[in-house]
Structure 1
């Protein structure tokens, strides 16, 4: 039969005339290009959908055929123009639909794929709503499967009624037939959905599972082959050394991944041939497995680099030979990369489960505790700061992380030209973190084995790790890490504290000292060099911070300044206890302008020394555990001031309760405290950010956060009566975040502005004892 390229046939298998007639009304309302005509072909009483479609195909000479369900309604008026333009432009495009999947899982169920595309209004849940998958930037996205609600062709390939005699998997079968014939199958790009599918709650009865198994049996091999062509190659790299039993378990966990396109490369650095003999039974079975026996032992670092250079994959995941992968590890991690249109993600990690030598679960340690309860995307530099300030590898060992090979511009285990001896993984993670974002998957996707043979347990490796961290911290700012002086200070301080404790433990243990002196004495010089450098940097930074942070000039008459408002509340000639006086910028005014007798408690000794210019009684102490009874008399003070202090304390309620007895009967506690419910903070949260700053609402040294109700409850629980509550205000665009609410839809912006205390920057509280 000669095909008429100016004709479009709409083909239905019908068992509900009412639905069918409504669908046809939509078809007849479409714009028809000049010179074209449409026809409607109805098959009633078909024994299967494949037989009905084959019967209809033979009845028409239309080149273009639209196979659609009777409950599918085409709402795109330009539908005919759009499909004809696509088919004329792309002769290889055999069939198109509105939703589908690029890859098909091994079970054959396309909608369980991680690579779904398209959109449709759909009621399969019982409620009509938009079903939207991944967008395509192409005119059509090449896929393996399109849903049978609407299937549009420009070529005729018989439907497999010899295989599918019911109402399921006819659509996926026809897609595979087109693909096997060399045509493309595609999901069209839609700005708005082309179709409404009023299917109601789907049923998996009437032979669904039998048809599913038949589809997998007939097309499974081709599906897996095509999955590989549609998915980027991931290289799983296994460096191994003399751990036969653990290695085989690790290898099996790599080969059993659900992700369809992997290669596994093993580099054997063992001193014997046990692994070589073992792996032969796997290499003959898996064509994606490569085994290499190093003729000369390379060592961990060089073996890792060799594997990296051998990898053909676009993405890489190391697997240490004593660790294990979850079967879906690569698939779940790759799903984030496959949805990352702008290539912003540079590293994907997850929670990892500690296991013992027998595979039994162990309790989490600090480094393996779950960071988030749900999957979270984090700024890479923020994550790097978190690791550097804590000296803890929260990201994970090489087994844990999946990354893009091209993103790593230094050899694996190298950071800014230095080969790391212990923190080999962190060296590369830092390189990646500097370039973009991190995904943390809360689900356990890898298993980190703890056993006696690990090098990381030795004194030498611990010492190497300390040196590696020192290098990371000193060089961090070259990569954009630790840009906040406060963060840099904390990283330096924690490293110095740690090395001092470590050396003390060695020097106090004669057995360890003997090992230390005999085996790793050459490391002492490097430790001493870094210790001197870190101490110099730390003290220089501390002095700089004391000159700049929490040291202000105050105009006591300023109307919208919390400190000025507190000073005006104090009045003259009072006996004042100022808690957290910093460098004494308020103490100066209290003493010299208001004539008050001021006692102070300040945590920082350097700042306290400056405050002594204005008070003769400045005590260095930590309010979290300060013993007021050792310094003051009960009922001694007319005024106690917490100016921007409570939010820095671990337990502000406890501190208020403990200081309360030192207030005179008619005395007052004056407090200023930031409002975490300011609309600029909420706006940041809505955009997935919680940006700590040097100063302000999210000062990077704040521990506790308060709303107005939280402030009121705090004072109530402390047994204090709030006499007066004032506030300072700041429009969102003038906060440290420079928030522009106009980036949100108008309704959202208006709602944020209307929130109670949306513009309240700080609360100022005047409180007294309960009568």
Structure 2
């Protein structure tokens, strides 16, 4: 009744956050748990911070000999270091806020062997503004066939809230796609294989800060990496008809295209905004975005330094 659950913590130069991640895992009320940290950092700061936990029987720390990157670090944790029947992945700057999250999930796994994933809502913490925003994905326990997420397109439960079957994940070659969408690519394929539970609780906090890989990566690379959607669609062909898959693909491309566009919009980089519009014109509104680009251009033209240059007041 109490299968081992592994909390996998992948970290890279996050020594100022890692303690909160580890302690939030240790504070889970589930008894049969192990916490494993795989450190991809360039220094020993994280190791020093976690020194006081090295003798805990349910804690293990590993330092990579060289930087292997986020996705390979995920794979190392899942395939080589974890022992749990069920696992959950945290990044080193995220943390649990519901200390019953794991015990809730296990109770569902114990009731129904066809359940492959249990996910929950998430709290976004915007560090710069010291602002929290909670996102629930359901108002009550919601159990559904994983294939339904394709039939009525919707988003996954966030990666750091998802507890899943380790053996099945390994069989499915989890974290195979070499992109930031690798977690979604993996979870969508896992959903196809069984039943899914969404909990109404807010289980974890995703810390949004200036060093988040999700938000600082090269935009052109992000566009290129959208092919993780095609990888999911190819796998889904064995389970769903092409009409359903194509509708789902369009939904996903539109959602991801608008997400990328919204990130660049905040930077007000007109050249890059136009580039995105050209590359992803099938999926984002030309009319709406043209107005936004023109508004930004007008703001730049009204900037005092530019105005003075136009009128010859500056050389």
Aligned in 2, Cα 1:240/1:460: closer, same or farther, shift over 3 Å? farther
Give SS of 2:189's match: helix
| Structure 2 counterpart of 1:469, from 221, 224, 229 | 229
TM-score by length of 2: 0.76
Indicate if the aligned counterparts of 1:434 and 1:479 stay in contact, CA closer than 8 A: no
Aligned to 2:75: 305
Aligned to 2:22: 251
How far apart, in 2, do the equivalents of 1:307 and 1:350 lie?
22
How far apart, in 1, do the equivalents of 2:40 and 2:254 lie?
37
Quick check: which one's helix share is greater?
2
Aligned to 1:441: 199
Give SS of 1:245's match: coil
Aligned to 2:149: 383
Matches within 5 A, 1:73-112: none
Aligned to 1:344: 114
| Structure 1 counterpart of 2:91, from 292, 314, 320 | 320
Structure 1 runs not aligned, ≥5 long: 1-229, 518-526, 536-771
Deviation digits for residues 328-356 of structure 1 (CA, Å, limit 9, x no counterpart)? 1111111111222xx11010001111122
| Structure 1 counterpart of 2:161, from 379, 400, 415 | 400
Aligned to 2:312: none
Indicate if the aligned counterparts of 1:353 and 1:361 stay in contact, CA closer than 8 A: no
| Structure 2 counterpart of 1:413, from 175, 180, 185 | 175
Indicate if the aligned counterparts of 1:421 and 1:464 stay in contact, CA closer than 8 A: no
Indicate if the aligned counterparts of 1:422 and 1:468 stay in contact, CA closer than 8 A: no
Deviation digits for residues 358-402 of structure 1 (CA, Å, limit 9, x no counterpart)? 8955234xxx4x23211010110002444xx45xx33212x1100
2:260 is the counterpart of 1:260: no
Structure with bigger RCO (C-alpha 8 Å, 6+ apart):
2
Pick the structure with greater CA Rg. 1
Structure 2 runs not aligned, ≥5 long: 284-315
| Structure 2 counterpart of 1:241, from 8, 12, 24 | 12
**CA-atom RMSD in angstroms:** 3.2
Aligned in 2, Cα 1:510/1:237: closer, same or farther, shift over 3 Å? same
Give SS of 2:29's match: coil
Structure 1 residue 476: Cα displacement: 4.7
How far apart, in 1, do the equivalents of 2:256 and 2:12 lie?
31
How far apart, in 2, do the equivalents of 1:479 and 1:380 lie?
14
Aligned to 2:123: 353
Give SS of 1:238's match: strand
Aligned to 1:593: none
Give SS of 1:444's match: strand
TM-score by length of 1: 0.33
How far apart, in 1, do the equivalents of 2:253 and 2:129 lie?
36
Aligned to 1:85: none
Deviation digits for residues 272-299 of structure 1 (CA, Å, limit 9, x no counterpart)? 1101111111113x11111111011110
Indicate if the aligned counterparts of 1:470 and 1:495 stay in contact, CA closer than 8 A: no
Aligned to 2:52: 281
Aligned in 2, Cα 1:359/1:375: closer, same or farther, shift over 3 Å? farther
How far apart, in 2, do the equivalents of 1:337 and 1:327 lie?
18
Indicate if the aligned counterparts of 1:233 and 1:261 stay in contact, CA closer than 8 A: yes
Deviation digits for residues 135-155 of structure 1 (CA, Å, limit 9, x no counterpart)? xxxxxxxxxxxxxxxxxxxxx
Structure 1 residue 464: Cα displacement: 4.7
- How many residue pairs get aligned? The number is 273
Indicate if the aligned counterparts of 2:229 and 2:249 stay in contact, CA closer than 8 A: no
